[in-house]
Structures are given as C-alpha cells and as structure tokens.
Amino acid sequence: MGVRGHSEAQRWEAASRMAAGQDDGSNAGRRKRLIIVAVGCVTVLAVLGGLVGALLAGHHSHQAARYHAVPLWREIVGSVLMLGGAVLVVRGFRVMWKSGNGLFPYFSSPLFALTGAERRRVNKQVRGKAAADTEHLPVLREVAVRISRQRRITTMYDGIVLFAAGQALASSSWLRVGIAVLYLALMTFSAVWIRYDAKRAEDFLRRHPA
C-alpha cells in the first residue's frame, strides 16, 4: 500500500518512528519496489555509459589516425588524474555509506513515509522558507541532519571531475575535452548547491535544538 493509502496521522506517526530509528517495516514493500527501479535505472545508465565510452574510443582512434599522437607527459598525467578521480569516487561512496544514510538514503528517511506535498512542506521548513511545525520537530530535525550530512559526498563529485579531466588530458579528442568541461560545470554546481543546502540545514538545527 502506498503512502496515500494511510491517513495523515498514520503517515506522520510512521515518519516519527523512522526519525527515531524505529522503522516497523510498514513501507518495506514500497521501499523494495523503488530500490529495484533505482538499481534498474543505474544498470541502464551503466550500459549507456559503456556505449558512449565505446563511441568515444572509436572517435579517439579516428582522431589519432588523422592527427599526431598524444605526448607521453599528457598520457602519464592524465592517467594519474583518472586514478586519483577513481579513488575519490570510491571514497565518496564509502563516506556516504558510513554517514548513516546508506547508499539509498531516501528509503530510510522520514520523508519516505510522507506524500509529495508533505515532503515539500518539510523541506521548505528545514530550508528556512516556512515556519517550522513544532509538532513534528523530531521529523524536521532528522531531515535536517540528513541534509547536512550530504556535504560529505562532494568528494565523489571532485573525483568525477578529476577522472573526466584526466580523460581529456590523455586524449587528443576535442569531444572528450568538451565532455570534461561539461562535467566540471555540472559537478561544480552540484557541489556548491549541496554545501549551500547543508548550511541551511545546519542553521535550522541551531535554531531548533533537540
């Protein structure tokens, strides 16, 4: 049964239990279905990524045949950057796992028990865009704590940027350079936004101590 099959009081009660770490498993079926969808989406993206990588490799071979080979120093530095990026990505996943939110943080969040409209209200309150509902303060605080923890995963974005930069440097393909610049802009924006969001959550926690 979805969250809309429960009354508002039941949804907030379930959210309160999840905020206290006492999930009774009432949303286990829905959680399992969504995790399967999430894993399926990741698998599809991985396959698409492999296809794009194969196309890029073919493009790189074509470019190498037409133009000069990449200088040795660029290949070495590019490889080092890619290795460093891969290490940072793995570290980011590890930090995400140890943060207490897990690899699928949404499914253990109190927000999971609420409707879309209720989640938006909670997020507005935590981000300081609406007055906090003191009746549900434990839920709001748990959501704020989880948002503040997201600051730690920016290491993963740094790793993606390094990896893309390494690929661009070790390649004579302007296509890879363009992709690296696109990744740089996207990941930089994401990292800045996450840090800004985390700061707002930390401000909420200071204003509303336990």
Average pLDDT of the chain is 76
Q: What is the pLDDT of residue 141?
A: 93
Average pLDDT of the residues in 139-166: 84
Q: Tell me, letter by letter, the H, E, C secondary structure of the chain.
A: CCHHHCCHHHHHHHHHHHHCCCCCCCCHHHHHHHHHHHHHHHHHHHHHHHHHHHHHHHHHHHHHHHCCCCCHHHHHHHHHHHHHHHHHHHHHHHHHHHCCCCCCHHHHCHHHHCCHHHHHHHHHHHCCCCCCCHHHHHHHHHHHHHHHHHHHHHHHHHHHHHHHHHHHHCCCCHHHHHHHHHHHHHHHHHHHHHHHHHHHHHHHHHHCCC
- Provide the terminal-to-terminal Cα distance of the chain, rounded to the nearest Å: 32
Instruction: Using a pLDDT cut of 90, give the percent of the chain over it.
Output: 13
The sign of the torsion formed by the CA atoms of 97, 101, 103, 108 equals: positive
Q: What is the pTM of this model?
A: 0.66
Q: What is the pLDDT of residue 1?
A: 47
Q: 195 with 124: CB under 8 angstroms?
A: no
Q: 175 with 59: CB under 8 angstroms?
A: yes
How does pLDDT run across 6-60, given as a tens digit for each residue?
Answer: 788 888 888 888 887 766 555 555 555 555 655 666 667 666 765 666 565 555 5
How does pLDDT run across 162-210, given as a tens digit for each residue?
Answer: 887 887 787 777 777 777 778 778 888 888 888 899 999 999 999 988 7
Q: 139 with 15: CB under 8 angstroms?
A: yes
The Cα–Cα gap between 129 and 172 comes to 48
- Pick 13 or 140 by higher pLDDT: 140
Number of domains in the chain: 1
Range of the domain at 9: 3-207
The Cα–Cα gap between 102 and 120 comes to 22
